[in-house]
Structure 1
Amino acid sequence: MRLFRSNPAERRLLLEGRMAGPMPWVIAIMMFLTVLAAASGLALGGAARMLSADLAGRLTIQLPEANPVSREAEKQAIIAGLGRLGVVEKVEPVSEEELAALLEPWLGEQGMEADLPIPALIDVTLRRATPADVADVRNAVRAVTPIARVDQHARWLAPLESLLRSLKWLAVALVLLMAAATATIVVLAARGALNTHRPVIEVMHLLGATDQQVAALFQRRIALDALMGGLAGLAAALAVMALVGQRMSGIGSELLGSAGLGLSDWALVLSLPLFGALLATIAARLTILFAIRRTL
């Protein structure tokens, strides 16, 4: 691209593309924070969508019957009744071993050995998740026993989904703020470079250079500085993301495991330095043209 290329004469006039000065390092820090915020927002948005899709049609039926014989009979009757409903995709009773594994952290081994009336659980997956389908399941369960309880997973985890979406939009706001801050830094750097090289610009004008040619010279330097700083910030952010991803995978949480990036998300994250360089180029060109027309 001609935007990032310069001839030897231009390089002698303005030092560019060598991480000279504070601007590339400041942009690297801004890009580091921008990449982390963007990746977090994309990951949280994906986790919220996956959570909503996974739990939309999931129900759990609790049978608090104390008598084990009656509890087993009611469980089988409910399974048979739900199997006749066209809205139900899958009915899966939770085994006693799975219940024991779920309750052991709370009751301990001695509590599990005690003769406690543990309710039976049945997991139900609906083909859709309309209120009418849930009502059909509730009616089928109440026809067997009125004391059974039907819980919707999405209802209990709705606050968590709302939190994830709020954090996603917070990340979007942070990215926009970082972009605005980067543009402000570029404007200040462009004005500083213009003041520093004012005698050179006057000589160029005397030799017949136009405002657009002068602006192109400065914007190329700023674009290269922004691109190199952005790539440095991206590399640092990817290293941090790899470390965090390794720690998250070691936890073994399904929710944390779903907070990943897809191919389109990675494409957007990796293209952020290019977007930053284009933003810096536009901001530098407008700033320099406006300043030249006002002062020269």
Structure 2
Amino acid sequence: MIEPASKNRAQSAAQPQQKRAEMRVRPTAPILPPSNIQGNALTVVIAIMAFLACLTLGGVSMVRSTAASWESQISREITIQIKPDDGLDMEKALTQARDIAMTFVGTKSGQIVDEAATARLLEPWLGSGLDIKELPVPRLVIITIDETNPPDFDAMRSLLKESIPQASLDDHRTWVDRLVSMAHTTVMLGTGVLLLVFIAMVLTVVFATRGALSGNRHIVEVLHFVGAESSFVATEFQKHFLKISLKGSAIGSALAALFFLAAGFLQSRTIATPQTDQATALFGTFSVGALGYLGIFATMIVIALLTTLTARLTVMRTIYEIDTLRSDPTRSDGIAN
């Protein structure tokens, strides 16, 4: 009879300990709901901002690589142009101009553009079936040079002018300077667009954070009143907006990467068509490469971190305003009344 009573007392003594253990491991509910209309709208906005940012970054990367390719191709060659004149033996003048250019240190090879190639160059403007001998068309000599050790262009230009008065040398410096200027302008414009996107995103997150704080202000005030530190409340909001920003930026970045993949695939399928050739000549291939996709991933991380930091600073600022109002009796009474 004694043993059952002792067992009951032991069980009754163990029940409070078990309840206390259950209370200790019980998870706390988040301050903000994990999903609501405002959070979904903010996810969509961040996804759009991330898509635009990654699209701008990829476009700038494409233009820069295309400009660098143009600059490299132009800087590897110079052109000697010989205008036709009465009594001028054009073929002899072309050969003489090539030989003069090849005497300079820094030249690699010389090629005379024949009549057939010259006619093909003029075909888009004058049509096919052109007899080059019937028109006073200048002829060209293309000289390949060493980019690291170019020849003395001024001396070459002077010697050509003395030997062949109808010859002129074009070292393409004007075009190279324009390409470099265009590349720098494109980078500046792209940087400006990225800054505008980031500024718009920061302002959106500030308004969204303030809206979330306004809707949950009573909870924040109660937590702060019972002793919760500002960093604790800010961390809760930070976690909430970090999840939203990661989701939105991942969606936008993935869409941008898919856009470049689809554009590159379509370009490869329609190669050798006039439209594709023109687009390729202007913008290059629609491929951002491994560095481009790495930049898209980095943009996603930057957007997520920027959103999280903005949310935290906004929460800290709002809690500071609450503390300021509470410490001012006049304003607190006015608000209470």
TM over 0.5: yes
**Radius of gyration: which is bigger?**
2
Residue in 1 that maps onto 2:300: 273
2:41 corresponds to 1:14: no
Shift of 1:91: 1.7
Contact 2:75 2:176 in 1 (8 A): no
Question: Which of 144, 152, 164 matches 2:163?
Answer: 144
State the structure with bigger RCO (CA 8 A, min sep 6), 1 or 2: 1
Question: Which of 48, 70, 73 matches 2:89?
Answer: 70
Shift of 1:96: 2.6
CA 1:264–1:238 in structure 2 vs 1: closer, same or farther (change >3 Å)? closer
Please tell me the residue identity of whatever aligns with 1:15.
P
Q: Secondary structure, in 3 states, of the residue corresponding to 2:284? A: helix
RMSD: 2.9
Residue deviations 1:208-265, cap 9 Å, x none? 3211011000011111111111111112222333344445554234453267534333
Contact 1:222 1:284 in 2 (8 A): yes
The separation in 1 between residues aligned to 2:294 and 2:87, in whole angstroms, is 56
Contact 1:56 1:129 in 2 (8 A): no
Residues 193-272 of structure 1 aligned to structure 2 (within 5 Å): 193-246=212-265, 250=271, 251-252=276-277, 253-257=280-284, 260-272=287-299
Range with greater deviation from structure 2 (192-201 or 65-74): 65-74
Range with greater deviation from structure 2 (122-131 or 33-42): 122-131
2:76 corresponds to 1:50: no
- Structure 2, unaligned stretches of length 5 or more? 1-24, 324-337
TM normalised by structure 2 equals 0.76
Shift of 1:184: 0.9
Equivalent residue pairs, number: 290
2:59 corresponds to 1:32: no
The separation in 2 between residues aligned to 1:10 and 1:124, in whole angstroms, is 76
Please tell me the residue identity of whatever aligns with 2:42.
M
Please tell me the residue identity of whatever aligns with 1:72.
E
The separation in 1 between residues aligned to 2:218 and 2:201, in whole angstroms, is 27
Please tell me the residue identity of whatever aligns with 2:298.
S
Question: Which of 95, 98, 101 matches 2:114?
Answer: 95
Residue deviations 1:114-165, cap 9 Å, x none? 7334332111233248997211221332243011121232314644543343
Please tell me the residue identity of whatever aligns with 1:52.
E
Shift of 1:182: 0.8
CA 1:18–1:125 in structure 2 vs 1: closer, same or farther (change >3 Å)? farther
Range with greater deviation from structure 2 (87-96 or 77-86): 87-96
The separation in 1 between residues aligned to 2:117 and 2:303, in whole angstroms, is 51
The separation in 2 between residues aligned to 1:118 and 1:71, in whole angstroms, is 11
Range with greater deviation from structure 2 (18-27 or 244-253): 244-253
Residue deviations 1:78-137, cap 9 Å, x none? 222222211213322223332221112211124347733433211123324899721122
Shift of 1:73: 1.0
The separation in 2 between residues aligned to 1:136 and 1:258, in whole angstroms, is 39
Residue in 2 that maps onto 1:282: 309
Residue in 2 that maps onto 1:83: 102
The separation in 1 between residues aligned to 2:155 and 2:285, in whole angstroms, is 31
TM normalised by structure 1 equals 0.85
Shift of 1:27: 0.9
Residue in 2 that maps onto 1:4: none
The separation in 1 between residues aligned to 2:313 and 2:220, in whole angstroms, is 16
Range with greater deviation from structure 2 (167-176 or 11-20): 11-20
Shift of 1:71: 1.0
Please tell me the residue identity of whatever aligns with 1:100.
A
2:310 corresponds to 1:292: no
Residue in 1 that maps onto 2:208: 189
- Structure 1, unaligned stretches of length 5 or more? 1-6
The separation in 1 between residues aligned to 2:86 and 2:148, in whole angstroms, is 32
CA 1:263–1:236 in structure 2 vs 1: closer, same or farther (change >3 Å)? closer
